[in-house]
Structure 1
Amino acid sequence: MLSLLVSAASGQEIVSAFPGQDVLLPCTYSRPDKLQPRATVFWRGKDDINVYDIINNEPDLSSQESRFNKRTRSFPVLYSQGNFSIVLQKVQLTDSGPYDCFILPVDFQLRVQLNVTANRVTGEEGPDTGRRSGSAAVRVNPLSLLLFLLFGKTVLLYEN
């Protein structure tokens, strides 16, 4: 099951998860008409490690950091819509930190802060919910994730 907790703060995305979960690291460019037909996108983690590359609209994992090997995937069918989001599978505590998405043809950069929290919070709240001033976290169900991937917009559907 893919869990997604996203909140906005200081011009960056914040994604929170527990160890073992799969998370979406969002990267959507709102003007896909400005992208060249074959975009190049680099995902980099802390210390500039290679998390995921997309070269000429094709995933290129030849220089990917070994700890991300077979734990990342993207959605090539959505590249033409400006969506270069990736899924990081089975997150670990050591995956916490900043991730940068660079879209070269348009000189676009988005920072995603991944917070992997060891302890589950009781109740329906996710990690860090309500603990940061100026931000909020929402648990999003898989249908919301699909809508985000298809349309590049956050649509919140609450689970009971």
Structure 2
Amino acid sequence: MLKCQKVFVLNVSIVSVYSLVTIDGVIGGSVLLPCASNKHEHNLQDIDVLWRYNASMNVFTILKGKGSVEHQEPKYKNKTEIFPDKFLKGIFSIQLNNLVYTDAGEYDCYIVHSGEHVKVWLLINVYSQVTVDGVVGRSVFLPCASHINEYKLQDVNVHWRYNASMHVYDILKGKGSVEHQEPRFKNKTEIFPYEFVRGIFSLQLNKLEHTDAEEYECYIVQSGEHMNVQLLINGE
């Protein structure tokens, strides 16, 4: 006897409608991961949205306007909430409950029917602060280390920022990137890739100027750690 099985295939075509946001959470708490479409009117039966962790792990799926946990990763069981009353307004945010360290990382919201993509960095508040002194014209070491001391290179995503927003340096999948680096930091930064697998993502800043002083922040995406480095500049 020939048996026929019905297979559902979802064709995903994401165009370059992209936004990025960083969210902070605390151990044991809850956090809202935002995802909203630029379009404000949607037909419920057309709504297909995929929430994924680190690009592939299934967090939650919305198919034809209805939530589905059929292929949800076990670690997210009973941890996710959606808000169906917001769908027609183009809001597909999810709430993540009972946060643990391993919930930190990159979450992607793919709004399939409109071709939009929202990336959310979730940082679990593991925070430290240090003050470093530098001298005009010389170099200084800005420390950043994870409490996790063993990493796979392809999992390493770290973002160095100046005064919370200015791009200083990015480490993406274990490789340094200056694609979005602020021009003032061009040829002034050094990293130490051989230390990455040990959870050390420190940065060396060269040719110091008085204007280099202020706050530097190191965001370790995978572990959700955040280090604040206050740089003081001495000398004329």
CA distance 1:44–1:52, change in 2 (3 Å): same
Question: TM-score w.r.t. structure 1 length?
Answer: 0.66
Could you say which residue in structure 2 is the equivalent of 1:53?
Answer: 61
Q: Secondary structure at the match of 2:126?
A: coil
Could you say which residue in structure 2 is the equivalent of 1:90?
Answer: 98
- Asked which structure has the greater CA Rg, the reply is 2
**Corresponding position: 1:132 with 2:170:** no
Larger helix percent: 1
1:56-135 matches, within 5 Å, as: 56-118=64-126, 132-134=164-166
Deviation at 1:37, TM superposition (A): 3.4
Q: Distance in 1 between matches of 2:26 and 2:106?
A: 16
Alignment length (residue pairs): 117
Could you say which residue in structure 2 is the equivalent of 1:140?
Answer: none
| Contact in 2 for aligned 1:101/1:111 (Cα 8 Å) | yes
Render the CA deviation track for 1:55-110: whole Å, top value 9, x for unaligned: 11100001000000000010001100000000000111111111000011111100
| Contact in 2 for aligned 1:18/1:119 (Cα 8 Å) | no
Identical-pair percentage: 27
Q: Distance in 2 between matches of 1:131 and 1:92?
A: 28
| Contact in 2 for aligned 1:20/1:89 (Cα 8 Å) | yes
Deviation at 1:118, TM superposition (A): 3.1
Larger strand percent: 2
Q: Secondary structure at the match of 1:53?
A: strand
Could you say which residue in structure 1 is the equivalent of 2:135?
Answer: none
CA distance 1:131–1:117, change in 2 (3 Å): farther
Q: Distance in 1 between matches of 2:116 and 2:25?
A: 26
Q: CA RMSD in A?
A: 2.3
Runs of 4+ in 1 over 4 A off after TM superposition: none
Deviation at 1:32, TM superposition (A): 2.6
